[in-house]
Chain A
Amino acid sequence: MRRLLLVLRNDVRRHLKSPAAILIYIAIPMVMTALIGIIFAPRTEESTLPPIRVVLVDHDKNLASRLLLGAFDADEVKKMLEVTVSDEAEGRRRMEKGQASAIVIIPEKFTLDLLDARTTVLTVVKNPAEQFLPDVVEEFMNTMAVMLSGAVQAFAAEARGIRAMLDAPVESIPWEALGPELGRAQKKIVAVRKYLDPLLIGIKAEEAKAAGAKTLFTQRDLFSIMLPGMAIMFLLFIVQTLMRDIISERQDGKLRRMMTTPLRPLELVGARLAGGWVMGLAILMVMVALGSLIFRAEWGNLGYFLLLAAAASFWTAAFFGFFSALVKNRNQAGALGAPIILAFSLFGGSMMNPEAMPKAFKAVGILTPNRWFIDGAALVRDGRFPLAPLAVLTVSGIVLTALAVPALRRKTLV
């Protein structure tokens, strides 16, 4: 036990001495959260930015341009952009008078080009007299373009169906006949709404308004929802690098030297598993603290959350302990570890909202620690005790430990 603690203390000290890797892994999720939150989140009430005036010229007058118009009409966008639909000449007149920061021109056949997956160009005419605001418009349109392109590709099948009917002049489109196609597209839109954020939040706001409701989604909520997913993903990365020690030390001879001392293999394995657990938990709590400080994220009952974090970190240490016992060398660990973590994160909901994922994804997600941690964090945030996630992470963590200990012990024999 004395030696176990000595190894543990030494490992902690080592990682504190060269914390670069860990600091980067802590910083990335924070920066990612900040970027995503700042770009996509609805503005808070205190937003002091004056609305930017934009003249929109619609040469398309078709489905896609209407979607765009709908996006501009969303409550959150309205706070930022004040859009007038007009023609180009009027737009330029306004710009000269300083009444418009930019003109956005939707070209003819915009919808058809998109549906046929041809590239098309949205023109943003920026007011040269202004410095910052026209750039904001351009950035916004860039984002919209990316999202629209993504949406068109995601709905390729539906797009073909709609395209067949759009050859006729817009006025004569039998909108009722579009029903099944639109209905199917609608379902997918609902499903991926969260991860195609700006465009689809716009649509959602429109619906909400029609129903007479108001969106209550704030930036702070967004951070609170996103951070646990990010935190567990990077916890996986960090603990994986920690548990890799045992492989590299096997390669560089330190493990052999340790085994010449009275240190027992079981003590070493115990120290490494406990180290991954404790350091993982500490790092997770640092991320929580940073999340609270930087993003004012809410976590709910801190005691509950600590339990959940301890269970997640325990699971992660056991998993990567076992993983390290199975791989041949450090390179193999690196090559296999990252895809595993990314798959966990994709299926487990670190990269997109689990609600928004296809059924098959969701089913696979249940096998990932990410999913249980994210669900648990949501429960804690709602003020509830995360019983199921705790139980699942702890029990499977114990099973993994039972597998990892003998496998790692075998690895200490050189």
Chain B
Amino acid sequence: MLEIKDLSKSYGDVLALDRFSLDLKKGEVLGLLGPNGAGKTTLISILAGTLGDFTGSVTFLGRNLFADRELKSRLGIVPQDMAFYEELSAMDNMLFWGGLYETSRAGLKRRAAELLDLVGLGARAREPVKAYSGGMKRRLNTAIGLLHKPDLLLLDEPTVGIDVQAKVSILDLIRDVGAAGTAVIFTTHQLAEVETTCSRIAIMDHGRILAQGSLDQLVRIVGERDIVEIMGEFAAAAFSEAVQDLTGERVELLSAGDGLASLAVRDTAEIPKIMDRLFRRRLAVTDMKIKSPSLETVFLKLTGRTLRD
């Protein structure tokens, strides 16, 4: 239902999207995972029609997304900003934003009440939104995007800065929406979220997709190896040098930084050997963790970055 082909967008010298291509089917929930600055918001903004000056094409429901105004009402957008009126109640916000789409007022009211119940705001729907907590506002922000039953829902970092309950409630909602047949793209830099919510995961950085597939498919990229994370008082260069003679078929240095390095090993038997090299060079180790392959290790391998920001 959605085909994005060779979408490129630059801000001056910065190439925010680099021939980005993606296909999405009905009911598919795609988690778009990428560090800050990867181009996630740029992509969502172009699809939402609020950002111009790009190249490439997007076909939605068989038609050119940018040429057909009708398609706007088939698209639901949940922006990264809390974009609603704080002085109005949740219900009034729903009626306003929903009203901008062609919907009958009675139907809209019913749908708004349903959705507010669904995201747990039903009891406080008549209160001015400014009295809400951050999590409640996020839930409202999400619910507004669903009012007109879109065929495709785009959410930009819908879970940023909220408590666990609110996060779970929003992720449940996304899953339900997908199960009901709406295609969803949501961006995040939180690995755990895509692991539990998505039918497909795409990892992007520097404006393009680096890898995509189901969780299993992605994890296989790093193979059946364990990941060893070592913390200590060492410089990146010294660490690389110390383990140099070990690396090869059985040990791979994934990343080395000052005080933190990670390696992939075929066998845990390699770990004492690594420690031995470090002790010989008098590199102090303060902590060590062994992890089974996960999305995080895939991400680390592909982007060379940890998902801290």
Which residues in A have some Cβ–Cβ distance to B below 8 Å?
Answer: 3, 6, 10, 13-14, 17-18, 252-254, 256-263, 413-414
Contact = CB atoms under 8 A, between A and B. Distances in A.
Interface in B28-78: 45, 48-52, 69, 72-73, 75, 77
20 contacts: A6-B99, A14-B88, A17-B128, A254-B83, A254-B84, A256-B45, A256-B83, A257-B79, A257-B81, A257-B84, A259-B50, A260-B50, A260-B72, A260-B75, A260-B77, A262-B72, A262-B100, A414-B45, A414-B50, A414-B51
Contacts of B80: 253
Contacts of B234: none
A354 B107 CA distance: 58
Contact of A261 (B51, B52, B92, B100): B100
B87 A17 contact: yes
A258 B88 CA distance: 16
A178 B237 CA distance: 95
Given A3-B100, A260-B50, A13 B79 contact: no
Given A14-B88, A414-B50, A252 B97 contact: no
A411 to B, nearest CB: 13
Contact of A260 (B48, B84, B85): B48
Q: What are the 4 closest A-B residue pairs judged by CB atoms, nearest first?
A: A253-B81, A257-B83, A261-B100, A253-B83
Nearest to A259: B50
Given A6-B100, A262-B102, A14 B87 contact: yes
Q: Output the residue of B52, B97, B99, B100 with the most chain A CB within 10 A.
A: B100
Contact of B96 (A10, A253, A260, A413): A10
B101 interface: yes
Contacts of B45: 256, 414
A258 to B, nearest CB: 7
Contacts of B83: 252-254, 256-257
Given A17-B88, A414-B50, A252 B96 contact: no
Given A14-B85, A18-B87, A261-B101, A256 B79 contact: yes
Nearest to A256: B50
B97 to A, nearest CB: 7
Contacts of A414: 45, 50-51
A262 B69 contact: yes
Nearest to B76: A260
Interface residues of B, number: 28
Nearest to A267: B100
Interface string B112-144: 000000000000000010000000000000000
B61 to A, nearest CB: 15
The B interface is mostly helix, strand or loop, or mixed, namely: loop
A252 B75 CA distance: 21
Contacts of B69: 262
A126 to B, nearest CB: 51
A355 B81 CA distance: 53
Contacts of B49: 259-260
A6 B99 CA distance: 7
The A interface is mostly helix, strand or loop, or mixed, namely: helix
A254 B85 contact: yes
Contacts of B92: 10, 13
A258 B87 CA distance: 17
Contacts of A256: 45, 48, 50, 79, 81, 83
A257 B72 CA distance: 12
Contacts of B87: 14, 17-18
Interface in B177-220: none
Contacts of A257: 77, 79, 81, 83-84, 97
Contacts of B82: 252-253
A414 B52 CA distance: 8
B50 to A, nearest CB: 5
B128 A261 contact: no
A10 B88 CA distance: 9
A330 to B, nearest CB: 15
A258 B81 contact: no
A252 B81 CA distance: 7
A256 B79 CA distance: 9
A6 B77 CA distance: 20
A132 B297 CA distance: 85
A349 B97 CA distance: 43
Contacts of B101: 261-262
Contact of B100 (A13, A14, A258): A258
A284 to B, nearest CB: 23
A330 B185 CA distance: 33
Contacts of A10: 85, 88, 92, 96
A406 B147 CA distance: 31
Nearest to B84: A254
A6 B72 contact: no
A258 B99 CA distance: 11
A262 B73 contact: yes
Contacts of B79: 253, 256-257, 260
A140 B257 CA distance: 80
Nearest to A19: B87
Q: Output the residue of B50, B51, B69, B128 with the most chain A CB within 10 A.
A: B50
B97 A261 contact: yes
A413 B77 CA distance: 17
Contacts of B85: 10, 14, 254
Q: Output the residue of A252, A258, A260 with the most chain B CB within 10 A.
A: A260
Contacts of B52: 413
Contacts of A259: 48-50
A17 B88 CA distance: 7
A6 B96 contact: yes
